[in-house]
């Protein structure tokens, strides 16, 4: 393959990682809001959207085959083209429940069976695109350029988060307010995402470089499976592996419950519901565009700011000295949802401040989780071991997500948020044991160590 020269990383790194973010957030965040606004009950909504995490949980199993079949560039462009086509099919096949069914939150998830099928295929394509894009990034740069653009790729992925959860949801809200047609609002929103994916795909066909090193690995399938088996075997024989797995599964347990129902809570009616003779609190009754602004834009910006400051803090103090503060930052701000469900304030300033505070705390505390996974992955199979850790990270959100909706349907939002926050105890329990077992030094870069004490 002849290398296309003189293509600056500025011409493709921002678009590549912006495109990587859009389908991820479309599948994992916008789908929740879409089903909530279409009147799907919370138990069905939470369970079936949690299933969409599976491709990211399993992607380590097929990632080696991206290395041996075609080039990384081919995979990147092919997956972008596939996701564009899938978005077109989502628009065409999206059902239109009647307004009475939507208002009663009585839309069966079976109505959206084809939507779910298309979302799951999109999820597999997105996970495969992640694998190829990260591999391509390493091949299309020299070491110095990789380091220089690592912040750029992260920034544009974050911009994709704000665009997807904020701008796209806001667009849906504006159209809903103007037309009163909820299904139409989401068709138009998906259409905007489709146009962007199409434009970027066409752009990348011509502007992505073709590095000479981007060639399929000349190995047999048996060798790939052998390498994969070695990676798994060495992971599960690492010292402290079961404590590490417990930490990866339980550190974010409370957030795993909250994240599935935050947006449904924000848009659900304020009216107190009566179920089986008991009064159960309602939501905040916010409009879709308000949720796009407060939760999807300002809240996500605060989440990202928390992550940036968390990274600075942990780089200066080290993991061990940062761990307790970050565990507290991850869990304690989520009590604002208990207050929101009990007080049901009407002030958008108060609601927005509470959402922003919780998101900032989560972003700050999540940094310790990421650093711990990197720390635990150190060794001969660092890349494979980190991929296994990210699989446990996905599983940590899936387990509570499967049951979150059913619990809320049984007890209502206020009791649900109390239950979710009670799970913070698991965060502090696993933090205690990890803190005791952490090494006093933590590698921050290859060949460097930072004192934790």
Contact 37, 288 (CB under 8 A): yes
In the block, which residue shows the tokens 């921050």? 444
In the block, which residue shows the tokens 């912006």? 18
Question: Residue 274 phi/psi, 5° resolution?
Answer: -110, 115
Give the contacts of 107 (CB within 8 A, at least 6 positions apart). Answer: 38, 39, 40, 41, 97, 101
Give the contacts of 60 (CB within 8 A, at least 6 positions apart). Answer: 228, 384, 387, 388, 390, 391
CA within 13 Å, CB half, 263: 31
pLDDT in the model for residue 438 = 81
pLDDT in the model for residue 233 = 86
In the block, which residue shows the tokens 């206020």? 414
**Residue 278: in which H helix or E strand, if any?**
strand 278-280
* Cα angle, residue 267 at apex, residues 335 and 349 outer, rounded to 5°: 60
In the block, which residue shows the tokens 């008991």? 278
- Which of 135, 178, 128, 150 lies closest to 24, judged by CA? 128
pLDDT in the model for residue 447 = 36
pLDDT in the model for residue 10 = 87
Gap between the Cα atoms of 47 and 260, Å rounded: 9
pLDDT in the model for residue 273 = 59
pLDDT in the model for residue 242 = 94
When computed from its CA atoms, the radius of gyration of the chain, rounded to whole angstroms, is 22
pLDDT in the model for residue 448 = 39
Tens digit of pLDDT per residue, the chain (453 long)? 444 456 788 889 899 999 999 999 999 999 999 999 999 999 999 999 999 989 988 887 777 778 778 888 999 999 999 999 999 999 999 999 998 888 888 899 889 999 999 999 999 999 999 888 888 887 777 656 666 676 688 889 989 999 999 999 999 999 999 999 999 999 999 999 999 999 999 999 998 988 888 787 666 667 767 777 887 888 898 888 999 999 999 999 999 999 999 999 999 888 765 555 555 668 899 999 999 999 999 999 999 899 889 888 888 888 888 899 999 999 999 999 999 999 999 999 999 999 999 999 999 999 899 889 888 887 777 767 888 888 899 899 999 999 999 999 888 899 999 999 999 999 999 999 999 888 655 544 433 333 333
What is residue 26's DSSP assignment?
A: I
pLDDT in the model for residue 382 = 76
In the block, which residue shows the tokens 């044991």? 433
Contact 248, 392 (CB under 8 A): yes
Gap between the Cα atoms of 185 and 34, Å rounded: 10
Contact 403, 346 (CB under 8 A): no
Instruction: Give the pairing type, strands 278-280 and 441-443.
Output: unpaired
Question: Across-strand partners of 274?
Answer: 279
Q: Can you state the angle between helices 241-250 and 424-437, rounded to 10 degrees?
A: 150
Give the contacts of 373 (CB within 8 A, at least 6 positions apart). Answer: 248, 386, 389, 390, 393
pLDDT in the model for residue 379 = 76
Gap between the Cα atoms of 366 and 360, Å rounded: 10
């Amino acid at each position: 393959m002849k290398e296309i020269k003189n293509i600056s990383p500025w011409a493709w790194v921002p678009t590549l990682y912006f495109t990587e973010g859009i389908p991820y957030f479309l599948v994992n965040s916008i789908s929740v809001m879409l089903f909530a606004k279409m009147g799907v009950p919370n138990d069905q909504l939470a369970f079936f959207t949690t299933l969409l995490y599976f491709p990211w949980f399993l992607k380590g199993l097929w990632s080696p085959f991206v290395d041996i079949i075609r080039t990384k560039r081919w995979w990147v462009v092919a997956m972008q083209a596939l996701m564009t086509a899938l978005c077109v099919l989502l628009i065409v096949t999206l059902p239109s429940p009647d307004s009475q069914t939507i208002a009663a939150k009585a839309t069966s998830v079976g109505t959206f069976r084809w939507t779910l099928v298309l979302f799951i295929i999109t999820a597999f394509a997105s996970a495969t695109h992640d694998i190829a894009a990260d591999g391509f990034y390493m091949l299309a740069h020299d070491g110095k350029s990789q380091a220089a653009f690592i912040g750029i790729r992260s920034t544009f992925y974050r911009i994709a988060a704000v665009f997807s959860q904020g701008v796209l949801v806001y667009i849906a809200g504006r159209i809903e307010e103007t037309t009163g047609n909820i299904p139409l609002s989401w068709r138009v929103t998906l259409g905007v995402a489709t146009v962007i994916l199409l434009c970027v795909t066409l752009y990348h066909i011509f502007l992505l470089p073709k590095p000479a090193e981007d060639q399929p690995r000349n190995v047999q399938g048996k060798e790939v499976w052998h390498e994969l088996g070695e990676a798994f075997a060495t992971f599960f024989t690492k010292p402290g592996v079961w404590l590490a797995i417990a930490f990866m599964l339980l550190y974010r347990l409370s957030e795993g419950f909250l994240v599935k129902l935050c947006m449904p809570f924000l848009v659900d009616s304020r009216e107190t519901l009566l179920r089986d003779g008991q009064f159960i609190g309602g939501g905040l009754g916010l409009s879709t565009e308000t949720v796009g602004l407060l939760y999807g834009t300002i809240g996500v910006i605060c989440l990202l700011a928390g992550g940036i400051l968390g990274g600075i803090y942990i780089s200066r103090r080290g993991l061990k000295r940062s761990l307790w503060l970050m565990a507290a930052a991850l869990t304690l701000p989520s009590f604002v949802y208990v207050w929101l469900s009990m007080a049901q304030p009407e002030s958008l300033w108060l609601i927005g401040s509470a959402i922003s505070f919780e998101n900032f705390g989560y972003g700050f505390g999540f940094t310790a989780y990421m650093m711990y996974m990197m720390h635990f992955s150190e060794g001969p199979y660092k890349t494979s071991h980190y991929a296994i850790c990210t699989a446990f990270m996905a599983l940590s959100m899936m387990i509570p997500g499967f049951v979150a909706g059913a619990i809320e349907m049984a007890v209502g939002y206020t009791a649900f948020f109390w239950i979710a926050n009670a799970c913070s105890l698991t965060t502090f329990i696993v933090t205690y044991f990890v803190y005791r077992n952490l090494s006093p030094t933590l590698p921050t870069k290859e060949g460097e160590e930072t004192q934790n004490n």
